[in-house]
Structure formats: C-alpha cells, structure tokens
Amino acid sequence: MNYLNTPYPMIHFRKVQKQKIYVDKSMLISRLNGLIGTNDCYVCITRPRRFGKTTNANMLGAYYTKEADGHSLFDHLSISDDPTYQEHLNRHNVIYIDFSRMPDTCSSYEDYINYVKDGIREDLEETYGLSGRPGVSVSDLLRDSGEFFIFILDEWDAVFYEKFMSREDKTHYLKFIKNLLKDQPYVELAYMTGILPIAKYSSGSELNMFREYNFMNDYIYEAYFGMSEEEVRKLCGENQSVSYEELKYWYDGYYMSDGRSLFNPRSVNCALSDGVCLNYWTETGPMNEVADCIEHNVDEVREDIVKMVAGIPVEVELQGYSVSELELNTRDEILSAMVVYGFLSYHDGMLRIPNYELMEKYQKVLARDSMGEVKKIVNGSREMLEATLACDEIRVASMLEEVHDREIPFLEYHDENALSCVITLCYLYARKDYEIEREAKSGKGYCDYLFRPKKAGIPAIILELKVGKSCEDAIAQIKEKNYIQKVKECREILLVGINYDKNKHHECRIEKIVTK
C-alpha cells in the first residue's frame, strides 16, 4: 500500500523507540482523540525543521492504523493510562502522506501531484475495488468507498521549496488539499504538519478549516514539539555524557507560552548520543536564504541582528508569516519568517537569538561581504583582541574611535545599547576562544562584559564601560564589586576599563592580575 493503512509509520516509530535517546510525547494522542469525528477535526502544526514533527506523525500513524498491533509500542507509554487509549488503538483507516517524498523523476508539479493522486487511487482500487473513471477525483473515490479516514499529512509545504513550482502551481496544490479534506464526510481527523504557516489570503482561504498552531500562537500542542527543561534534565541523568548546563547553553532559548524553556530536540539527541555539543541543527534548513534576506532587504533587519548578537533583545510586534509571503521584503515579514524557521525566538513581544548553536551562524552572517561597513568592523575584531591581550591601551582606544567615525547610524552612541553593539562587533573574533557574557552577574553586581576562556592558557577578560567618567573609575568598579570572583579559576585576568566622552574621545586602561 502506498498511503492507505501503510505499515511504514509503525516501522519508523519502532526505530525511534529503539534509539538511545527517546522522550515520550504520546499524550499528543489524547488531545487528538477528543477531536475525532467533530467539526474541530482539522489540526495543522507548523514548526521549524528538526522539532519532532515527523516523529510525532509516525507515532500517530502507528497508533491509529487499522489492522496493525501497536500494543508493544504504546502499552508502556503515558497514553496507555488515558481513558481513550483502547477505543482508538489501531481502529481507524489512515491515509498517511509524506509530502516531502518525490517520484524518482520529478521535473514538474504535474509529475509530483500525479504521483500522489495515483498512489491513493491504487490503494482504493486494491482495498475497495474502486476504479478511477475518467474525470473522477480522488475525493469522489474516497466518498464512494463509504468508509471514514484519518488523514496524517506530513511536511505539507515541502513542495513549495521546489524550483519547478510556479505561483499557479501553488494555488492548484492548495485547492487539491482543500478538495481532499474540506467538508468531506469521510474525514474523521486531518492532522497536518509543515514549516510554513498556511496562507491566509482571505476569509475564504482554501484551508481555513484548519486550526493552525505555530511558534507564535500555540498554547495547546507546544509541549509535544521540542524538549522541556524537565525532559532534558531527566535525559542528562540517564545519559551523563554531557551536562545539563552545557546543553542549555547550546540548545535552549525557545519558549512555551508560559515562559518555560524549550530545547531544540534534534540537537539535544545528537549531543547526548555523541557525547559532545556541536552545531548540529543549523546545518539543515534555509539559513542561507534567511541570511540573504538580512543582507539584501531592509537595513533595520541588519540593525536588529547586530543588536541581538550583542545580547540586546529587540522589541517588535509580529503579525505572522504565510505561504503567500515566500518573497520577503519588509522587516515584519523577514523577522516573522526567521521565527517560523526557528532562527529567532519570540516571547512577550521580544526577539532573541535563542542559543549558542544559532549565535555561531549569525556571527558568520555578519562577516559576509554584503554587510558592508559592519563586515569591515568584524574583520578588524581579531586585531582588537590581539591589542587587548597585548595590553596595548592606545591601539584599543584608537580602534574604537575608528568604528565610531564610520557612517553607521545605529552605531552612533545614542545610548548604552549602541555602545554595546560597537563592543560586540569589535570583539566578535574573540568568541572563537571565549564565551562572552553581557551584563554577567558577578560579585556584588553585574559587569558589562565577561570573557570566559574556552580553553586553558589564555587570560580571562573583564570589560567595564563608562561614559563621561574615567577608565580608572571602570577598573575601580571591577575591583570594588568583586567581578573577579566569576573567573577566579583563571591564572591571568585582564581588567579592561573603557571610557567615552562627549567629545568622541575614547580612553582605555588595561590592568593584568595574576591569581596563581
């Protein structure tokens, strides 16, 4: 069978359970059981790549598919204690379509959609003896069967990324899904997943029967996609190859509606399986396309990215992003798309770069040619670090003045955030060897910047900024507030005081402390 009651979801879900790292998300089934056969039976979940969409789709297929036996897969999971567990376990006809699958030869939308339609027709003919008369649609055949079906449609938007897809093709595809599902008496449940939220062209949108849940509006299904703090802590207890703190630094940074942490699940899986934190997830997905949007569209977006790399959240009210907006032109469209793709987190009206895994990517974006003056500052950041380590106070101050003299409006020193952006760009190269914390809590207060070495043999750096005061004031504050205790394990610590006055003059003082 191609799509109808196929055994493949069960095969794939069994493989998932055999993995070293597995988190039980089966209570998603309980949520959906309550929707079967109701007017609310249309659910669309959109999430970034690698956030568990396909794993959950396979779980649902394994649970609902008629004539299979899922007891060995589900009796030990949380869903087995639910009152609806036995009622729906392997009791339904399931049409499971992975829309990311293509025929071996696929050079047009017609090749693609005929592959899907022919597969469904073959299944209906084999199972019910129905043959497709000329002009008879797939939905007609499904009605003729007299049966009821659960539809699980994974990666519904995958074809939108294919080069052969025209605007007209996309419209035809949306109409195909509409004709297949909307107001059809044979639909018991339609569960659909993708990355792109459904296009909302108007109140008469083709797919407006779906309740859509994405990173910006989901209060119902959010716990089933990604890993919570509790789940990651439990996994760390069972697999002690990587600490919870390290996983949090690398892969946390997304939020549930109540502010609880949400981790990137694939990256956590890979890190615990391999025993090392690396950049796993961002090697997949459209990061290059988003980088192109940053570079070639509105200047405001580039300013936003520099601020977020500096650790400054950006306040913005996003309205969402849909399939009809694949061409990104405005700041709202670009930033919304970056949230949808998972490259930014959005909570309580604030945008942030979620974690170190993604921060690495954004640092590379800032060094691309099309970033213009920003790239020139980034290119000088290695020299800035070398001058600091050499305690060359005059060169450090001179380089800061050079940056201030560049014609980059958002780097003019209107406020502390602008000065922080300058420091971030000037020391971007340092992130190769340092974990850099902005406003790091230490001793009796918060130091402006703390450079914590990633490896032994290089000094820690504590950097304090002053405006209209003196470098000596900055150094004195570092000592009085005991910021040094945060990196007391380091043999050498550089105390860096930087002052800027109203005459655009920079001063720098660097004092070296040897603790051992």
- Look up the domain containing 239 and give its range: 226-283
pLDDT reported for residue 321: 62
- Which of 223, 243, 262 is where one domain is finished? 223
By DSSP bridging, strand 492-500 and strand 506-514 are antiparallel
Of 149, 153, 177, residue with least CA distance to 53: 153
Q: Tell the residue number behind the tokens 């089934």, with chain if given.
A: 29
In the structure, what pLDDT confidence band is assigned to residue 36 with cuts at 50, 70 and 90?
very high
132 versus 443: which is more confidently predicted? 132
The whole-number average pLDDT for the span 167-175 is 92
User: If pLDDT is split at 50, 70 and 90, which confidence band does 467 have?
Assistant: confident
163 plus 232 within the same structural domain: no
Q: Would you say residue 131 has pLDDT above 60?
A: yes
Distance CA 71, CA 231 (A): 24
- Can you tell me whether residue 92 is helix, strand or coil? strand
97: pLDDT strictly greater than 90: yes
Tally of residues, the chain: 516
Are residues 324 and 262 both part of a single domain?
no
Task: Give yes or no: residues 356 and 395 share one domain.
Answer: no
Residues 276 and 324 in one domain: no
Residue 381, domain member (yes or no): yes
Residue 348: DSSP 8-state: T
State whether residue 193 is helix, strand or coil: strand
Q: State residue 468's pLDDT score.
A: 84
Range from 29-33, 213-217, 223-227, 355-359 carrying the lowest mean pLDDT: 213-217
Q: Residues 163, 289: contact at Cβ < 8 Å?
A: no
Distance CA 463, CA 484 (A): 11
Query: To which residue do tokens 């007299």 refer?
Result: 146
Among 408, 324, 409, which residue's Cα sits nearest to residue 373? 408
Please report the pLDDT score of residue 201 as a whole number.
40
Position 31 in a domain = yes
Boundary of a domain, candidates 327, 346, 371: 371
Please give the structure tokens belonging to residue 363.
């640092």
Mean pLDDT estimate for the chain:
88
Please state the pTM of the whole predicted model: 0.87
Q: Is the pLDDT of residue 3 over 60?
A: yes
pLDDT for residue 202: 36
Residue 306 domain-assigned (yes or no): yes
User: β-pairing, 345-347 with 187-194?
Assistant: unpaired
- pLDDT tops 50 at residue 110: yes
More confident residue, 470 or 294: 470
Cα–Cα distance measured from residue 506 to residue 136, given in angstroms and rounded to the nearest whole number: 77
| 3 found inside a domain | no
Please report whether residue 2 resides in a domain. no
Q: Is residue 1 part of a domain?
A: no
| % of the chain exceeding 70 in pLDDT | 89
Report the C-alpha gap between 406 and 386 in whole angstroms.
22
What are the tens digits of pLDDT across the range 273-332? 999 999 887 655 556 666 666 766 667 888 888 889 888 899 988 876 665 555 677 788
* Cα dist from 32 to 19, 22, 60, 159, whole Å: 25, 21, 9, 26
- Range with top average pLDDT, 108-122, 275-289, 338-352: 108-122
Q: What is the pLDDT of residue 380?
A: 92
Whether residue 105 is predicted with pLDDT greater than 50 in this model: the reply is: yes
Mean pLDDT value across residues 240-251: 93
Name the one residue in this structure whose structure tokens are 């605007």: 167
pLDDT for 362: 86
Among 203, 251, 249, which residue's Cα sits nearest to residue 227? 251
Residues 198, 211 within the same domain: yes
48-76: burial string, b at 16+ Cβ within 10 Å, e else? bbbbbbbbbbbbbbbbbbeebebeebbee
Cβ pair 40, 91 in contact under 8 A? no
Mode of pairing for the β-strands spanning 350-352 and 314-315: antiparallel
Could you tell me the pLDDT band of residue 12, with boundaries at 50, 70 and 90? very high
Q: Are 262 and 268 in contact (CB under 8 A)?
A: no
Q: What are phi and psi of 49, to 5 degrees?
A: -55, 145
Tell me how far the alpha carbon of residue 94 is from its chain's centroid. 30
List the structure tokens of 196.
Answer: 């792109």
Q: Give the pLDDT band of residue 203 (cuts 50, 70, 90).
A: very low
Residues 493 and 468 in one domain: yes
Give the other-Cβ count within 10 Å of 131's Cβ: 11
**236 & 329 share domain:** no
The domain boundary residue, chosen from 283, 306, 323: 283
DSSP helix/strand/coil, 287? helix
| Residue 440 near residue 447 (C-beta atoms within 8 A) | yes
Residues 97 and 197 in one domain: yes
CATH code of residue 509: 3.40.1350
421 and 472 belong to one structural domain: yes
**Are 198 and 62 contained in the same domain?**
yes
Each residue's pLDDT tens digit, 248-257: 999 999 999 8
| Number of structural domains the chain divides into | 4
Which distant-in-sequence residues (6+ apart) come within 8 Å of 92 by Cβ? Answer: 36, 64, 65, 66, 148, 149, 150, 188, 189
**In-domain check, residue 207:** yes
* Distance between CA atoms of residues 169 and 113, nearest Å: 10
CATH at 320: 1.10.10
Confirm if 485 and 475 have CB atoms less than 8 A apart. no
The verdict on residue 133 lying in a domain is yes
Instruction: Give residues with Cβ within 8 angstroms of 367, minimum separation 6.
Output: 375, 378, 379, 428
User: Is 496 a residue whose pLDDT tops 90?
Assistant: yes
**Does 267 lie in the same domain as 216?**
no
Same domain, 71 and 211: yes
